Amino acid sequence: MTFRRSAVVLGVFGIVVVAVGALFEPVVSPMVSKLPSNTDMTVHYSGTANLIDQAAVAKGDLLGAFKNNQPLTLDRRIHVTATDGDTAIVADDQTLTIAGTPMPDNHVYALNRKTLEAGPAPAGKTADPASGIPIGWPLSPDPQGDYRYYDPTTQTSSDFTFTGDASVKGRSALTFHSSSAANPVKDKTLLATLPQALPKSVAQALAASPLPILPKEAQALLTPDVVAALPDTIPLTYTATTVADGAADKRVGFPIQQHLQQKVILNVALPGQPPVALMPVLTTDLTLTPDSQQYLVDKAKTTATELTLVKLVIPIAVVALGVLLLVVAFLRRNPKAQPLTPAVEGGPVAPAPGRTEPREGGSASGEEGDDDSAPAGSAEDGSAQTAED
């Protein structure tokens, strides 16, 4: 059976288009379902801080040393600086500003581009020794997923617990909560801002103060005899506790809601005793600003639309186009009908155009016997004959 050439071309092209549509999602989707190499986002937090004025402490002004409800902001830029296969090197540049004093603190993570979990840096790269998820949840987070919040202050991670569903500015979200025990502070930038030793005179003033400055447990341990046995310069250590509450966009995992609370606690080592927590020296309470929350919600909408196009709309449209081409090819499969061929020699001869069939009794040449027309010159001959007669 023969087919029209155009039908064959359309059929082949249709099969190719259907194959492309069928392979589009499994081939392209993995590439768009991981942290893009051009990621660059800046968000802002605001809140309050309670802190101890070290200068006031050095002067013995314990009452004036405690600064509560100081304005606090955090500017945070997260951007990918390099990629190596499924690993992205991500810079997390933070500037904490307390009462107008900025405190820059930058971190670098090696993240799995699909799970966003921190891991070792690839060869030739350096990154913080992080674990868990430092910047946010992966695509389509699982309510029962094993997610851990990474705290750069202590360089530890604690379990995230799913707490329910929520709606944030029209986006469906999953809410999570994490709370860590006190762990030693390891952030070098923060440690550089904290005193590493306490004069004995300050410890004596704290122990003897009638103000409820120290926790009851610490006050009970700092007896006059214990304080008298302390060295003139008392080494200090610091621990921190962190509480993190967040909402992850159900579709793309963006942290569209965040509330972070942290306490940095001063500890002293008493003779023959484990370190004792004396008091918080820095307490921060931060929440995403409304503008940053809207920014993340808008980015979540855009990313979700792009994923829908790649995973659903484009593959369906391409397959539909391929099927349409195959249908057209099927409808055009039969070749055009050939025109009638002239009769072969010896067969009946069709009359020439403008000629009529001779009637009975007509001349062999096909002229009618009683036709008024005559051969050339016959009219003149007849007229001459009549004249002679």
**Closest alpha carbon to 35 in 181, 170, 137, 187:** 137
pTM for the predicted model, two decimal places = 0.74
pLDDT at residue 252, rounded to an integer: 92
pLDDT at residue 387, rounded to an integer: 38
pLDDT at residue 386, rounded to an integer: 39
- Count the Cβ atoms, other than its own, within 10 Å of residue 338: 6
Cα angle, residue 24 at apex, residues 19 and 29 outer, rounded to 5° = 160
Cα 276 to Cα 171: distance, rounded to the nearest angstrom: 45
pLDDT at residue 219, rounded to an integer: 75
CB 75 within 8 A of CB 42: yes
pLDDT at residue 34, rounded to an integer: 86
List b or e across 43-53, with b for residues whose CB sees 16 or more CB atoms inside 10 angstroms.
Answer: bbbbbebbbbe
pLDDT at residue 57, rounded to an integer: 67
Which segments of the chain have a pLDDT < 50? Answer: 357, 359-389
Structure tokens belonging to residue 41: 């986002």
pLDDT at residue 378, rounded to an integer: 42
pLDDT at residue 365, rounded to an integer: 44
Per-residue pLDDT tens for 20-29? 667 656 655 5
pLDDT at residue 353, rounded to an integer: 54
Per the listing, tokens 């030693």 go with 184
pLDDT at residue 331, rounded to an integer: 76
